[in-house]
Structure 1
Amino acid sequence: MSQNDFSAELLKRAEHVEEILKKYLPKEEGYAKTVIEAMNYSLLAGGKRLRPVMMLESYKLFAGDNADEAVVEPFMAAMEMIHTYSLVHDDLPAMDNDEYRRGRKTTHAVYGAGMATLAGDALLNFAFETAIDGAARGTKLASYDGDTDNRYFAALKILSKKAGIYGMVGGQCADIMAENATDVPKDKMSDILSYIDENKTAALIESSLMIGAILGGASKDSVSAMEKAGSCVGIAFQIQDDILDIVGDQAEIGKPVGSDEKNNKSTYVSLNGMEAASAKVKELSEMAEEILKEQGFEDSFLGNLFDSLIYRRK
């Protein structure tokens, strides 16, 4: 698939996710109207919708292209709500204090820090309302060979764990604690960075692929394989981000380069060097591709999506 064809297909899939999201937006009414407006403002701020796209692609790989999307749609919406809440909170004055995201004012810049905090909280809670309601109303699925035979329960468990203290939130915690930590030995910092990349960046990618696979009828072993693929992609994505912060084109990236060094932030590149970082990205990419091949999904759109994320220039 050419780059132009891939880009067109990805845009088409993102637009499809956008239409799905709109079906699950809460109505802006009642005494909670303002926080709901802030939620919807945040959720419709644009973006590539990569996580729900990955979830749907994983679902179709295991369930077939003609499978009922209604099974996975509530979880796709929930995943994007969770991702969005994390961005809303990241932008807050107490965190990164960003005024703009994707070319428009951040939620706290429009609604104030207090309401933005509530909007993030509400998005997280509403994500689980949406997923649970979808699981309760969903068509009956074949038994799962995991810890529970109910595929909806298994998907909900993964969604909650990967978003929480043993996933994204845990990674964000470690990231905050590692800021300006200049007296940490190299081997210890390397362990910390691995934890951050695995949890802050990779956890929701893993979750998206795993949930799609579970709801699509995959076995426990195949779900574990998709988790590993998600880990490879997420970590490679972050290392590539570290590389672009040094050698990237500011106009192409859309943000200043050199910010990691300026902020005295340890990265895979600063600890191991550019050559080792590039080699690690290649290694992780090949591992993700091999996993898809072993699952019988060689030359899939999902594989092309992995490559686009890992080797992106912006």
Structure 2
Amino acid sequence: MEIKEYLQSKKEIVEKALLRFAPPEESTYASLFAAMRYSLFAGGKRIRPILCLAGGVCVHGTEEIETALLPSACALECIHTYSLIHDDLPAMDNDDLRRGKPTNHKVFGEAPAILAGDGLLTWAFDLLGDSTLSTLEAKKQLAITHCIARAAGPFGMVGGQALDIAMEDTDFPFSTLQTIHRAKTGALITAAVRAGAIGAGASEKQLTALTSFGEKIGLAFQIVDDLLNATSTTEQLGKAAGSDAENGKATYPACFGIDKTREMAEETVAEAKAAITAFGSSADPLRGLADYIYLRTK
């Protein structure tokens, strides 16, 4: 199966699960749920939940594991969506567009947008902890929850975002830029692969290999993001292009130029694929996803 066909088929599975799990449109909290659903169903690529499913299949060997992993996969998408809502706020990146649509706070206001993000983040852990939604044993659920919480919090995505803001318009070493990218974007992507592997019962050796794969593609994802922000148009991206330079952020293109950044992204993806050479054809979706991350245009 071609990677685009694979992505579309898995995206449909994730979309159906999100619709099934999502808070109802009609309820006492209808306005909050409307704001949450607005961003959750705004047309995302669902890369993180798909990586979770692919990580599970890589270890398990069959797609049967996907059903048990869907709550974890959906939780990852909720956390990612919350981070986008908050990133777009005036106090953060102050963006008006996301996925080609007005950002959450532009539609619902700043306070409802903050609460929508809060709702998605905490609902993610509701999904992770609900034993009625998955057939995974409690020990695996707990391990997945810890893995994702660690990646999303102050030692991962939130910490990376805080460091990114603190470093705006300052000179800092390349090692700090790597730290920002690995935490802000890479940590949750790595956690997605690890969560699937944990749910499928990965050995320590398998988990080490898949963690290395996740770290490499997580870094590659952000390098490509830097590249697209510098070279694409707002219409192509569905969000503000050139915003990194306007906000005084250090990026790979700013440090190394466009051509060298492309080389670094390609090299990082190659390293990711090398990390999973011991796996057979069950890892083909992960290999395809690695290539997609490098070749994507938005």
> Above 0.5 in TM-score?
yes
- Is contact 1:155-1:211 (8 Å) kept? yes
Deviation at 1:99, TM superposition (A): 2.3
Q: 1:169 and 2:158 equivalent?
A: yes
- Return the letter of the residue paired with 1:163: A
**Residues 157, 188 of structure 2: 8 Å contact kept:** yes
State the partner residue of 1:106.
Answer: 103
- In the alignment, what sits opposite 1:32? 29
Secondary structure of the residue that 1:96 maps to in structure 2? Answer: coil
Name the amino acid aligned to 1:58. Answer: G
State yes or no: 1:238 paired with 2:222. Answer: yes
How far does residue 256 in structure 1 lie from its aligned partner after superposition?
A: 6.0
Query: What is the letter of the counterpart of residue 180 of structure 1?
Result: D
Instruction: Number of aligned residue pairs: give it.
Output: 298
Alignment correspondent of 1:281: 265
Gaps of 5+ in 2: none
- What is the CA distance between 1:247 and its match in structure 2? 4.2
Q: Distance in 2 between matches of 1:151 and 1:111?
A: 38
TM-score, with structure 1 as normaliser: 0.87
Q: Counterparts of 1:201 and 1:14 in 2: how far apart (Å)?
A: 20
Whether 1:206 aligns to 2:190 is: yes
Deviation at 1:226, TM superposition (A): 1.3
Amino acid paired to 2:199: L
Q: Deviations over 1:238-268 (max 9, x none)?
A: 2223333444466644556544344433212
Q: Would the alpha carbon gap of residues 267 and 140 (structure 1) be closer, same or farther in structure 2, given more than 3 Å must change?
A: closer
**Which structure is larger by alpha-carbon Rg, 1 or 2?**
1
Q: 1:145 matched to which residue of 2?
A: none
1:146 alignment partner in structure 2: none
Cα distance, 1:244–1:85 mapped onto 2, change above 3 Å: closer
Q: Say whether residues 1:47 and 2:44 are aligned partners.
A: yes
> 1:63-82 residue pairs with structure 2 within 5 A?
63-82=60-79
1:139 partnered with 2:123: no
- Cα distance in 1 for partners of 2:150, 2:273 equals 26
Structure-1 separation of matches of 2:293 and 2:26: 38
User: Structure 1 residue aligned with 2:277, among 268, 279, 293?
Assistant: 293
Give the conservation status (yes or no) of the 8 Å contact 1:292–1:298. Answer: no
SS of equivalent to 1:218: coil
Measured in 2, the distance between the counterparts of 1:285 and 1:37 equals 38
1:144-159 paired onto structure 2 within 5 Å: 150-159=139-148
Shift of the 140–13 alpha-carbon distance from structure 1 to 2, 3 Å rule, reads closer
Work out the CA distance in 2 between the residues paired with 1:104 and 1:13: 23
Structure 1 pair 299–214 and aligned structure 2 pair: CA distance change class (3 A): closer
Change (3 A) 1:102 1:250: closer
Identity fraction in percent: 38
Correspondence 1:195 to 2:179:
yes
Question: Over aligned residues, Cα RMSD in angstroms?
Answer: 2.3
